[in-house]
Chain A
Amino acid sequence: MSEFLNFHFEVDGDNFVSAGQASVQMKKNMRQLGLAPEIIRQVSIAMYEGEINMVIHAHGGVADVNVYEDRIEMILADKGPGIKDIDLAMQEGYSTANEQVRALGFGAGMGLPNMKRYTDEMKIETVVGEGTTITMYVNLK
């Protein structure tokens, strides 16, 4: 495997005030690396959605972003409740978020669809009651 840069973030659960901090920091890192604006936007959106999902559903988790020569890999892992029905969760507009979360503007049911739309590849590994790991790739070439 070619050399890569790793950025590691702890995502604080249930803290909506700081939600998105890892994504905002990663965006700064990508700007410093001189990545193309469209790539930065894709990664930022996908990562933010993943980060918000971890806060809303899983009491936080960890995010690792690996920058390779030819692609960016995002791995978001949590020990939350898992996803019962992935096909349903992938549907735009479907959400299990509660009212409090919706009042803050989240829970539109666009998280996973946005993650898929803005990445070149997405894998979901989930076990109900144990947690979810989502791996996403954005190609640089």
Chain B
Amino acid sequence: MTALQLTEKFGFEPLAMPAPDHPVNGCYIGDLLSWVMGRAQADNAWITIMSNINIAAVAALADTGIVILAENVTPDASVIQTAQAKGINLVRTPLTAYETAVKISQDI
């Protein structure tokens, strides 16, 4: 499934979608950046409540397919701009990380 298909199917709020065709396979949940960096696999959906600017760099370096901000956390405008510039798909949902993972689990 692509990042855009996942976003549309589950009604995530797209904040930045510069790479809509990026494949999404598997999922990683975490807020500690080094942990995500070392453990998330390429093309994973990364679910987090961390919303500061550094998530864009971590997502870019770890090659995640999409970053899903859980519980409607609001990122700074600079995060959205940076995500757009770095080719990071960034979406938001009111669901918790657990609920999000359960929901998308059949499709990734």
Contacts and interface: CB of A to CB of B under 8 A. Distances in A.
Interface centre among B34, B35, B62 (most CB of A within 10 A): B34
B37 A114 contact: yes
A111 B33 CA distance: 10
Interface string B7-45: 000000000000000000000000111110110001000
A49 B42 CA distance: 17
A16 B52 CA distance: 10
A17 B53 CA distance: 6
Contacts of B34: 49, 52, 106, 108-111, 114
B35 A110 contact: yes
B42 to A, nearest CB: 7
A51 to B, nearest CB: 9
A114 B42 contact: no
A24 interface: yes
B104 interface: no
Interface string B46-74: 00001011110110111100000000000
Nearest to A103: B52
A19 interface: yes
A105 B42 contact: no
Interface residues of B, number: 21
Nearest to B61: A44
A118 interface: yes
B31 A105 contact: yes
A137 interface: no
A124 B10 CA distance: 47
A84 interface: no
Contacts of B58: 20, 48
B18 to A, nearest CB: 14
A106 B78 CA distance: 19
A45 B37 contact: yes
A24 B86 contact: yes
B51 to A, nearest CB: 10
A20 B35 contact: no
A19 B54 CA distance: 7
10 contacts: A24-B60, A24-B86, A37-B42, A48-B61, A105-B55, A106-B33, A106-B54, A110-B32, A111-B34, A114-B34
